[in-house]
Structure 1
Amino acid sequence: MSEASAVTVAVLDDLSQESEELDLLVAGAGPAQWAAPTPAEGWSVAHQIAHLLWTDEVALIAVTEPDAFGAEVEKALARPETFVDEAAREIVSLLPAEELLVRWREGRNELHEALRAAPPGVKFPWYGPPMSVASMATARLMETWAHGQDIADALGVTRQPTGRLRHVARIGVRARDYAYFVRGEQPPAEQFRVELQGLDGELMAYGPEGAAQRIGGPLLDFCLLVTQRAHRDDLALTAVGPDAERWLDIAQAFAGPAGTGRPRKGER
């Protein structure tokens, strides 16, 4: 197996594990818990799972019917600010919790199998640049973890971070320029140095060692920041340089319009 193939298999395995962990969190939930509000305004636990279901299903179209995916892009362009919310609301209105859970399981399993069966080097259309198998799997893992965090917060559950966060951090770093573009800003030409303390104390570093613009802090905190699940003032992240400071205010690892982020603790 080539190094690239090994990386792809590893992220696909991690995606499956992340999905299964979230499944365990909601599988025993009762009606009140499915209806519980999450930190995302207007979204219940059911809306969070509905969103994951919808994204898995459109990703499956991109993987198995790439020529048909253009229709999904057209829908998004017609309602760029609302199409994600509308999809989640429609699914919740149509499916009771038990059916929603079953359909999410079936949809994600179909997607995971399609990704594993995809030929090496293939690129799939998406709402942004085309994505490889590893990139698509990483994006799905990032979203599963981020929406899982909203669900855990709603249910009052403290999740233990895992080594799978390395995938979230990587996509957060790679999406740096997108955070500027989506706000109509020009990203800095200079690369940043990002140094994160992993769960076992290991250093995870990205970018040139001598970069003037620098970000540092715990891996978990960085992942919460780039998925906009916590305000930067509530996280132990540091920035050196004005460009790095700006990035911590706007960073987002997900495609789509600029997120509003979360308020500081005490302001909710």
Structure 2
Amino acid sequence: MDADILRGLDPFAILDAEAARLDAYFDGLTGPDWDHPSRAEGWSVRDVLAHLAGEELYNHACLNDDLDGLAALLAEQGIGGVDGFNEWCVRERRDIPVETVLEEWRRKSGETRRRMRALGADATLPTLAGPYPVGLQTFHYCSEYATHADDVNVPVRPGEEPGRTAWRSRVGLFALDERDAPVRAEEIAGGFRVELDGRAAELSSADFVDATTGRLAPDHTLDPDLRAALVVLA
């Protein structure tokens, strides 16, 4: 895999910025705001927060080199697969006061970010995919945070949007290469040209980000096979 596309980006600073954006937004929500539907199918805003809090269980298992312990816990709970884990994390927090869930996410996310930064980008940590560079894992967390921020309509200042879309596009290109996706993607003026088996399309940078995270609008005209092949960060 070619990580040169990410050269010059600081994953730890990006993750801190995305966490701060989410935190500020969640902190300002009240009552019915939490029940609004999100862009993540079937999840409310509250459910997205519960997911973010719950997935720290995996992040900490990686940091603690205790993936076997996590697997044992999930087996004990009868939980299988990534989707099962995600739904379990949300379900387990539905009867907990949202303020408690928010504090859980703040504390655990803060610990993850501090420990990842302390390890450094060139260190490795155990993951379900095997030993993996800390810096690259942090970029995956950056994409996760940014995607879910968009899912719940966290505002982004106009001056920040171009840079945010730019780093997300680069992470998308990296993920396509890492996953050995059959799609060829190249940057062009104003966006990206994508090609698969002789079928090609041009996407804006924002649509390219949405495509790689599985968030492209249902009514977008992109070829279905291209759409499916571009999803590498969902």
Q: State whether TM-score is above 0.5.
A: yes
**Structure 1 unmatched runs, 5+:** 181-186, 207-211, 240-244, 256-268
1:211-250 equivalence runs, <5 A: 216-231=202-217, 233-234=219-220, 246-250=225-229
Determine whether 1:99 maps to 2:100.
yes
- Cα gap change, 1:250/1:9 in structure 2, threshold over 3 Å: closer, same or farther? closer
SS for the counterpart of 1:249 is helix
Distance 2:27 2:87 in 1: 23
Q: Which residue of 1 aligns with 2:70?
A: 72
Amino acid at match of 2:211: L
Structure 1's consecutive aligned runs of 4 or more residues displaced over 4 angstroms after TM superposition are 6-9, 157-160, 177-180, 203-206, 212-215
Deviations 1:101-129 (A, max 9, x none): 12211111111100111055322222334
In the TM superposition, what are the counterparts of 1:124-135 in structure 2 within 5 Å? 124-135=125-136
Give aligned pairs, total.
223
Superposed displacement of residue 27, structure 1: 1.1
Give the distance between the partners of 2:111 and 2:188, measured in 1 at CA.
34
Distance in 2 of aligned mates of 1:9 and 1:135: 11
Number of the residue aligned with 1:14: 14
Matched letter for residue 42 of structure 1? G
SS of the residue corresponding to residue 94 of structure 2 reads: helix
Q: Which letter does structure 2 place at the counterpart of 1:87? A: C
Q: Distance in 1 between matches of 2:146 and 2:44?
A: 16
- 1:14 match: secondary structure: helix
Deviation track 1:176-226 (CA, whole Å, cap 9, x = no partner) reads 37878xxxxxx54xx7232155xxx6x7899xxxxx776632211111111
In the superposition, relative to structure 1, how do residues 178 and 133 fare at CA in structure 2: closer, same or farther (>3 Å)?
closer
Q: Distance in 1 between matches of 2:138 and 2:193?
A: 22
Q: Which residue of 2 is the match for residue 194 of structure 1?
A: 186
| Larger RCO (CA under 8 A, 6+ residues apart) | 2
Residue by residue, what CA displacement relative to the aligned partner does 1:219-247 show, whole Å, maximum 9, x if unpaired? 11111111112236437x7x8xxxxx733
**1:114-149 CA-partner distances (Å, limit 9, x unpaired):** 011105532222233433121111111111111111
For residue 195 of structure 1, give the secondary structure of its aligned residue in structure 2: strand
Preserved contact between residue 120 and residue 135 of structure 2 (Cα < 8 Å): no
Counterpart of 1:89 in structure 2 is 91
The corresponding residue for 1:29 is: 29
Aligned-partner residue type, residue 234 of structure 1:
H
SS at 1:92 equivalent: coil
Does the 8 Å CA contact 1:31/1:97 hold for their aligned counterparts?
Answer: no
Structure 2 residue runs of 5 or longer lacking an equivalent are none
Q: Given residue 172 of structure 1, which amino acid in structure 2 is its aligned partner? A: G
Paired residues of 1:172 and 1:252 also in contact (CA < 8 A): no
Do the aligned residues in 2 keep the contact of 1:227 with 1:254 (CA within 8 Å)? yes
Residue in structure 2 matched with residue 52 of structure 1 by the alignment? 52
Matched-pair contact (CA < 8 Å) for 1:115–1:133:
yes
Give the alignment's TM-score, normalised by structure 2. 0.77
Deviations along 1:6-27, one digit per CA (max 9) or x if unpaired, are 9587111011111111222221
